[in-house]
Structure 1
Amino acid sequence: MRSLTRTGGPALLWRVAIAAALLCAIGLLPWLSRTDPALTVLKARAAERTPTPEVLASIRAELGLDEGPLHLLGQWTDGLLHGDAGRSWISGEAVLPSVVQSLGVSLLLMSVALVVAVVTAGAVCARTLWLGPRRRLAGRHHSGGGAAVLAALPEFLIASVLATVVGVHLGLLPALGWYGPQWMVLPAVSLGLPAGALLGRLLDDLLPGAFAEPWARAAAARGIPSGRIAWQALRRCVPGLLPNLGLFLVGLTGGAVAVEQIFDIPGLGRSTLQAAVAQDLPVLQAGALALVLLAAVAGGLFRLAARLTSGPALRDGALPTLHSPAPPAPSRLPFLYGGVLLGIILLSLTRDPLALDTAARLQAPSWAHPFGTDALGRDVLARVGHGALHTLALALGISAFALVAGVLLGLLPRFSGPLLDTLNALPPTLAGLLVTGVAGSGAATPAIAVAAVAWVPLSAHTAALLLQERATLHLAATRSLGAGRRHRLRRHLLPAVLPPVTRHALLRLPGVALALAALGFLGLGAQPPSPEWGLLLAESQPYAERAPWALLAPAAALALLGALAVTAAGGVPVPRWLRRRRRPDRALTAGDVRPPERELSTAGAAAR
């Protein structure tokens, strides 16, 4: 296929233009934020110094702010071409060595976290790998709610618990600093567990289709060892997830700000965010450029790996489809989890989430306060329930937008590929700062910032599945019978892509809710005393030892949302308007061509 091997000049120019636009936006951030950069630099250098006009004028002259942002941007670009990224506005030190050192720390942490994620993903789909070769999968099997809890828990919450319990109370591992291999264990586990749980769920979604293919049935009938069949099924499914794995790598590097702050790790994400808050423009631009380059390299390598691991079948159009297993098995778990979450919301409606009672600070759970009280004596149940109304509604809306945008842009990989590589390099916090600089701080700021990056993994997933589905045998047969592009898209490609991508969007729903609340906590959206779930988690962290219930209640609600999303995702079928229909009273047409494995499945069911 020419589209797999041709890398034209327009795609490279499009990629360079997007990266340049991002760097220009970052370069204009101090002026877009409608604040005086000299005043921000003075506060970062010496907060106690009085900002007199003379002092501010001297800072402007020192930094060249009077010449305007475009001059500074051109000066920075010219220096970068000569290997000089400038000097920090705050410390006065050279930027490039510190950014390279921070990048090395982040890459090392990312590598160890990736190992943890791979091990976690293997544990999540272990049961499917055990049952699949033995033909014991009933319907669409999923591994349960344990992965849902891990995928829903935020990294900074896992980091706080591990640092407090393992590092402080038990003293098994160091919980602060970055001085050797022992110091990277807890941060890597904090980052790798939720990422591995999500990757495991995505892999677990594809494995039943691989075990339903004719080669797997023939291998089982010939007595091939189950372990070898499971290994081949993994090789069959992994190429569809490799682009998302590249996104995870960049996300681990640029989005691990909270974990790096908790464990005091001098990583690239933390230094870039600190530079953005302090408006240290040279450090911010160099850090953002490093993230963009990392995203481009990782995305390109993993896309190449996906094509190489698929082999000649991808080039020659000789793949079977992965998306014709048995229909999803019905489950009552979504109703159970949804009922519990709805019950919490209903019980909280009669309580005031803002009522203060200083005499009842940090009280344990009781009949009067089933979830206890927080540091100001407010009822935790009321705050969790009232926060769910706003957080969930906004998260659902953003997830729906991300799904539609991800699928539409995934259909245009040449256009969306460079775009998603660049946007994936932005942590949501940095995206929130950029949105705040343009639109100002407000209730809509977190929603715009999260929506701007939430579609990226869904678009990568869509493009990877389409790449494999376009190389299937049944689609080649349909094309040879004269079916047009619109027919192939509606009757073959979208039915294969929409269910797994929709399940992926549901898996990311808790993460969207948490990203919204985290941006509000940073002052970019809703402010205290708003009962946002992320605010509740952040406010309760200092009292985790004295009042663990104040921290566990919002964490349990978030885990419950994750379990609900995962179990509901397991039952996403092909929409009726996309299902292929056969009419026995007319001649066979291109729309009636069915995948060979579906014919075998039907024949096998009839024989049984």
Structure 2
Amino acid sequence: MRALRAVLARTAILAAVLAAIGFLPWIADRDPALTVLRARYPGRLATPETLEAIRAEIGIDAGPVPLLRDWFGGLVRGDLGTSWITGEPVAETVLPALGVSVTVMGAALAVTVAIAAAACFPSLLRAAEGKSGRPSGVAIAALVALPSFLIATLGIAVFATWLGLLPTYGFDTPAHLVLPALAMGLPGGGVLARLGRDAIGQSAGEDWVRQWRSAGYGRARIVRGLLRRALPPILPQVAIIAVSITGAAVAVETIFAIPGLGRTALDAADAQDLPLLQACIAILIALGFVGGVATRAAARRMSGPALADSAVPFSPPAPGGRGRRLAWIAATAGPLLIAVAIGLTRTADTVDTGARLAGPSWVHPLGTDALGRDVLARLGHGALWTVGAAVAACALAYLVALALGFAPRLAHPLAEAVNSFPEAIAGILVVVAIGRGQLGAVVAITAVSWPPLAAHAAELVAQARAAGHLEARRALGAGPVWMLRRHILPLVAGPLASHAGMRLPGIALGIASLGFLGLGAGPESPEWGASLANSLPYLERAPLATLAPAAAMIAMSLAVMALIAPGRSVRRRSLSSGPARIGPRSARR
């Protein structure tokens, strides 16, 4: 029943998103008729009569309801509509792009599984032999902390530009698939490796493993038993990773100029080609949806309904013990804070064309960008843009989650449904509706950041309401408003705020990713994502202009991850004791 509710909720969200796209011509900041006029008839004047004729031609003169009815009816018949810009059937553009995206996503998923298998295999052998050990979490921490667009940038810098081992742009040969697959698959591989190690550690602590070992069972037999026990809680998280790969396709395909669905959706949003945008987003979300249903069905088949929706508790990987963690934090956060502090004392907008793309010097310690602006200054001021927007998005998500926490029947289905909605697609829709800018980035990231907080808030509210001392207060005549203000809300607000603070680095990276795609802060702003995108074409001539914002985002993520991670690398707790469920987006970060 729960699985059916999840499927219905996701289907409802998909239908609502497609309906919202259908309303975009009436809420967009640009008139789509004017966009179509400039694309199809560049020499004609934008007179009212001409614009009205174009509205009739593309079918928006009758209103949103007939347009949506015709689009959904065509979708049932297998007709994806006609492009507003080219006048050609949408299927002729979408189907080839779908084949490219499926190829790239499949390769990325193979990288994810390979990374997880390589990281978990030693732990599996140690557990089968009864050996204890705490593997280092440094490599996994790095993988989890790096978003796809940063890995893509570093891959271009190292393997394409400096070493010349792999091609940079295009999709012509199998070699063109390597860097995109690594960029999309490595973060999910880090998450899956961490979850796998936790699941193996939990399973190895159960009684049956010791009994099998005492009975003389071979290592291969115990390994198969551990896999069968550890895999079901992990499989549902593959759905989350599939959604993250789907969202990463927008950035990665844009960076590497791959003609896939992600890049096509971004181009369609920029051109206001709504039929093409609807088809791309519907297929992208459906890919994540199908992946989620398939993995949940596999988990239910392996373990039965009792464990089908369970998951291992995910904790961010720490680099080691307390001393090593403090050293890790100092090594990552220290240089970043110093660079930001010095950069804030400098002017970030001074243009000096005579010093453009200059190398490091006493005047410009990190060199200059393509307009001769100081990279160090833009790094410092960009921290205010990126982190400030992330704090605003985090605060809004916190307030939404706090309100929904008191309505768990609404919070849980909504959280599960929004879980299948990548942040890049949310950014595309917001840009079409209200235009590009930092405000749109905050709105888009807020729209996809509240689900794990809302799920946590609902659990905190349930625990607070079940507390024994509240029953005594009610017996003494305390009213519901007084109970809410004096007892329940204080028990919920503090832990939820701590949880929101843990998600701040991931939100900041989401803001930066939208800026990188041109969906957030403007190209002239010092925001880290926008600065990275502007300096990427000049990577070979001025590498520090590109690597400085990338290194800042990496250092911020690794420092906060080490700060919030627990001291133990593996939690040894039996699955039968009822492990806490992972939040809908906690694996994605």
In structure 2, the partner of 1:246 is 239
Task: Measure, in 2, the Cα distance between the counterparts of 1:96 and 1:106.
Answer: 15
Which of the residues 153, 170, 180 maps onto 1:177? 170
- Alignment check: 8 A CA contact 2:236 2:299 kept: yes
- Alignment check: 8 A CA contact 1:153 1:555 kept: no
In structure 2, the partner of 1:20 is 15
Q: CA deviation at 1:110?
A: 0.9
Task: Measure, in 2, the Cα distance between the counterparts of 1:226 and 1:57.
Answer: 75
- Alignment check: 8 A CA contact 2:378 2:526 kept: yes
In structure 2, the partner of 1:541 is 536
Which of the residues 422, 430, 445 maps onto 2:425? 430
In structure 1, the partner of 2:483 is none
- Alignment check: 8 A CA contact 2:198 2:314 kept: no
Q: CA deviation at 1:120?
A: 2.0
In structure 1, the partner of 2:132 is 136
Q: CA deviation at 1:173?
A: 4.2
In structure 2, the partner of 1:103 is 98
Task: Measure, in 2, the Cα distance between the counterparts of 1:396 and 1:426.
Answer: 21
Instruction: Give per-residue Cα distances to partners, 1:302-340, cap 9 Å, x unaligned.
Output: 22222223347638x9x999799xx99533223443333
Q: CA deviation at 1:540?
A: 1.1
Task: Measure, in 2, the Cα distance between the counterparts of 1:339 and 1:433.
Answer: 35
Moved more, 541-550 or 433-442: 433-442
| Paired residue secondary structure (1:256) | helix
- Alignment check: 8 A CA contact 1:296 1:421 kept: no
Q: Given the alignment of the two structures, is residue 60 of structure 1 paired with residue 60 of structure 2, yes or no?
A: no
- Alignment check: 8 A CA contact 2:239 2:295 kept: yes
Which of the residues 273, 276, 287 maps onto 1:294? 287
In structure 2, the partner of 1:344 is 339
In structure 1, the partner of 2:380 is 385
Matches within 5 A, 1:211-230: 211-219=204-212, 229=222
AA matched with 2:191: L
| Paired residue secondary structure (1:61) | helix
Task: Measure, in 1, the Cα distance between the counterparts of 2:406 and 2:230.
Answer: 20
Q: CA deviation at 1:398?
A: 4.2
Identify if the C-alpha distance between structure 1 residues 314 and 443 changes in structure 2 by more than 3 Å, giving closer, same or farther.
closer
In structure 1, the partner of 2:302 is 309
Which of the residues 261, 270, 287 maps onto 1:268? 261
- Alignment check: 8 A CA contact 1:364 1:371 kept: yes
AA matched with 1:59: I
AA matched with 1:486: A
- Alignment check: 8 A CA contact 2:391 2:504 kept: yes
Identify if the C-alpha distance between structure 1 residues 4 and 519 changes in structure 2 by more than 3 Å, giving closer, same or farther.
closer
Instruction: Give per-residue Cα distances to partners, 1:32-64, cap 9 Å, x unaligned.
Output: 113211111123335565434454333223212
AA matched with 1:570: A
Q: CA deviation at 1:167?
A: 4.7
Q: CA deviation at 1:449?
A: 0.6
In structure 1, the partner of 2:85 is 90
Instruction: Give per-residue Cα distances to partners, 1:155-206, cap 9 Å, x unaligned.
Output: 2343344446545665544443334544322221221122222332343444
TM-score under structure 2 normalisation?
0.77
Q: CA deviation at 1:396?
A: 5.1
Q: CA deviation at 1:400?
A: 7.1
In structure 1, the partner of 2:484 is none
Task: Measure, in 1, the Cα distance between the counterparts of 2:532 and 2:239.
Answer: 29
Task: Measure, in 2, the Cα distance between the counterparts of 1:551 and 1:320.
Answer: 38
Moved more, 143-152 or 529-538: 143-152
Moved more, 160-169 or 286-295: 160-169
Q: CA deviation at 1:114?
A: 0.4
Identify if the C-alpha distance between structure 1 residues 419 and 509 changes in structure 2 by more than 3 Å, giving closer, same or farther.
same
Question: Taking every aligned residue pair, what percent have the same amino acid on both sides?
Answer: 46
- Alignment check: 8 A CA contact 1:321 1:595 kept: no
- Alignment check: 8 A CA contact 2:194 2:314 kept: no
In structure 1, the partner of 2:229 is 236
Q: CA deviation at 1:27?
A: 0.6
- Alignment check: 8 A CA contact 1:127 1:143 kept: no
Identify if the C-alpha distance between structure 1 residues 243 and 67 changes in structure 2 by more than 3 Å, giving closer, same or farther.
same
Identify if the C-alpha distance between structure 1 residues 486 and 25 changes in structure 2 by more than 3 Å, giving closer, same or farther.
same
- Alignment check: 8 A CA contact 1:84 1:96 kept: yes
Identify if the C-alpha distance between structure 1 residues 120 and 456 changes in structure 2 by more than 3 Å, giving closer, same or farther.
farther
In structure 1, the partner of 2:556 is 561
| Paired residue secondary structure (1:241) | helix
Q: CA deviation at 1:87?
A: 0.9
Q: CA deviation at 1:403?
A: 7.8
Matches within 5 A, 1:583-594: none
Task: Measure, in 1, the Cα distance between the counterparts of 2:253 and 2:375.
Answer: 28
Which structure 1 residue ranges, 5 or more long, are not aligned?
A: 467-482, 491-500, 574-593, 599-608
Task: Measure, in 1, the Cα distance between the counterparts of 2:454 and 2:237.
Answer: 9
Matches within 5 A, 1:202-601: 202-219=195-212, 229=222, 232-311=225-304, 314=307, 329-330=321-322, 331-332=325-326, 333-395=328-390, 398=393, 419-420=414-415, 422-436=417-431, 442-456=437-451, 486=466, 509-521=504-516, 524-571=519-566
Task: Measure, in 2, the Cα distance between the counterparts of 1:413 and 1:101.
Answer: 42
Which of the residues 128, 140, 144 maps onto 1:147? 140
In structure 2, the partner of 1:79 is 74
Task: Measure, in 1, the Cα distance between the counterparts of 2:125 and 2:559.
Answer: 25
- Alignment check: 8 A CA contact 1:142 1:204 kept: no
Q: CA deviation at 1:67?
A: 1.7
Kindly tell me the number of residue pairs found equivalent between the two proteins: 539
Q: CA deviation at 1:461?
A: 11
RMSD: 4.3
- Alignment check: 8 A CA contact 1:151 1:198 kept: yes
Q: Given the alignment of the two structures, is residue 31 of structure 1 paired with residue 23 of structure 2, yes or no?
A: no
Instruction: Give per-residue Cα distances to partners, 1:227-285, cap 9 Å, x unaligned.
Output: 76566445434333322311222332343122212333221122122222211121122
AA matched with 1:270: R
Identify if the C-alpha distance between structure 1 residues 417 and 297 changes in structure 2 by more than 3 Å, giving closer, same or farther.
farther
In structure 2, the partner of 1:195 is 188
Identify if the C-alpha distance between structure 1 residues 362 and 487 changes in structure 2 by more than 3 Å, giving closer, same or farther.
same
- Alignment check: 8 A CA contact 1:403 1:458 kept: yes
Which structure 2 residue ranges, 5 or more long, are not aligned?
A: 471-495, 569-574, 580-589
Task: Measure, in 1, the Cα distance between the counterparts of 2:106 and 2:442.
Answer: 31
Q: CA deviation at 1:130?
A: 5.7
| Paired residue secondary structure (2:83) | coil
AA matched with 1:299: G
Task: Measure, in 2, the Cα distance between the counterparts of 1:502 and 1:299.
Answer: 29
Q: Given the alignment of the two structures, is residue 40 of structure 1 paired with residue 35 of structure 2, yes or no?
A: yes
- Alignment check: 8 A CA contact 1:363 1:372 kept: yes
Q: CA deviation at 1:382?
A: 2.2
Q: CA deviation at 1:356?
A: 3.0
In structure 1, the partner of 2:487 is none
AA matched with 1:514: L
Instruction: Give per-residue Cα distances to partners, 1:465-504, cap 9 Å, x unaligned.
Output: x9xxxxxxxxxxxxxxxx999369x9xxxxxxxxxx9999
Task: Measure, in 1, the Cα distance between the counterparts of 2:416 and 2:382.
Answer: 33
In structure 1, the partner of 2:478 is none
Q: CA deviation at 1:292?
A: 3.4
- Alignment check: 8 A CA contact 1:156 1:259 kept: yes
| Paired residue secondary structure (2:258) | coil
Task: Measure, in 2, the Cα distance between the counterparts of 1:320 and 1:518.
Answer: 28
Task: Measure, in 2, the Cα distance between the counterparts of 1:153 and 1:597.
Answer: 31
